[in-house]
A = this chain, B = another copy of it.
Amino acid sequence: MSVSYTLSELAERLAGEVRGDPRVVIRGVNTVAAAQPDQITWVSDDKYRSRLSVSQAGAVLVRRDAGDAPMPSLGVDAVDPALCRLLELFSPPAPRPPAGVHATAVVAPTARLGRDVAVGPFVVIDDGAVIGDRTCLYAGVHIGAECRIGADCVLWNHVVVRERCQMGDRVILHPHVVLGGDGFGYYFADGRHNKIPHHGGRVVIADDVEIGAGSTVDRSKVGQTYIGPGTKIDNLVQVGHNVSIGAHCVIIALCGIGGSTVLGNGVVLGGQVGLRDNIRLGDGVVVAACSGVSVDIDAGQTVSGMPAVDHRQQLRELAVTRKLPDIAAQLKELAKRVQSLEAATDHS
């Protein structure tokens, strides 16, 4: 499949403005470095504009108020949404199973499917589950009993949603996500760890949440584990039982969030961050990558390090740490000088 547009055709679709030759033919989108003469690139930040001079791109998407570019340009009010529109124009949509239930799927008679639900091969939907309109379940998805899945969701291959979990509309779960596995809870008695039952709990996911491949969200033993609207979670993230995550958070790959921890709205966790159990992060907290947080963090704070502290404090400590060998040497030398002074004083 191949599509092409002239720059002026693109300008029409994006409500943009052409500078330079409007007849240049564009067949794709690519980075400044990799774009070919039949591709359009983009510059969303003025600091990257200088790279354009060595780009082979046939055209560039820029802000409407940007200066001249070395190739024909398409000026728009906001680059990011226009770029998304370009990507849609040139990319065939991801193939999905057709609406309806694949012949190989195993769907309980008591499950209720909305209009135009797409159920791929080898999908299992258990008793009493409800699937919203136009939701798409790729091959091998398993929806447990009495789950409620919203409309326009996309559950990629082998996603497992255990019994009684719930999600809103437009939720995207990438391959191998597990929602509602038992929380990691035991009590120690009689010389062994005794399992605390978790099948009474559940996971509740709000609208517009996206969760990356292989991530796991455990069910609570009572109440629910919750992920708020618009929150985006990357691949291979672990969310413990009874965790509550606010709206519009961003959680990068390989983070682990301990049980019953609470995140406010707009929290950002860098990659590989660990949060211990039973702590609270206020609205807008930012935790730098590879940090570990073991205490409550007030709203608006940026923290880093292990254990994480205020980021500016951490930077100050790091600056001194870099000089530690010098400091040790200076201290030693100073001690000698003091000793000399003491000797001199004794003699004086």
Q: Does A174 lie within 8 Å of B163, measured CB to CB?
A: no
Cβ of A91: which chain B residues have Cβ within 8 Å of it? 197, 199-200
Q: Does B234 lie within 8 Å of A184, measured CB to CB?
A: yes
- Asked if A218 is at the interface (CB within 8 A of a chain B CB), the reply is yes
Q: Does B327 lie within 8 Å of A317, measured CB to CB?
A: no
The smallest C-beta distance from A16 to any residue of chain B, in angstroms, reads 17
For the side of the interface on A, what is the size category?
35 or more
Binary flags per residue of A144-180, CB closer than 8 Å to B gives 1, else 0: 1100000000001110101100000000101110100
Q: Does A316 lie within 8 Å of B327, measured CB to CB?
A: no
A175→B29 CA distance, assembly (Å): 33
The smallest C-beta distance from A196 to any residue of chain B, in angstroms, reads 6
Stoichiometry, copies per complex: 3
- Contacts of A11-45 to chain B: CB distance below 8 A: 28-31, 34
- Asked if A309 is at the interface (CB within 8 A of a chain B CB), the reply is yes
The smallest C-beta distance from A94 to any residue of chain B, in angstroms, reads 4
Which chain B residue shows the least CB distance to A200?
Answer: B91
16 A-B pairs with CB atoms under 8 Å apart are A80-B187, A91-B197, A93-B199, A95-B145, A106-B121, A140-B158, A158-B176, A172-B195, A174-B181, A176-B178, A181-B212, A192-B248, A213-B218, A271-B274, A274-B289, A290-B306
Instruction: Tell me the A residues contacting B by CB distance below 8 Å.
Output: 28-31, 34, 78, 80-81, 83-84, 87-88, 90-95, 102, 104, 106, 120-122, 124, 126-127, 138-140, 142, 144-145, 156-158, 160, 162-163, 172, 174-176, 178, 181-182, 184, 186-187, 189, 191-200, 208, 210, 212-214, 216, 218, 221-223, 230, 232, 234-236, 238, 240, 242, 248, 250, 252-254, 256, 258, 271-272, 274, 276, 289-290, 292, 294, 306-307, 309, 313, 316-325, 327-328, 330-331, 334-335, 337-338, 341-342, 344-345, 348
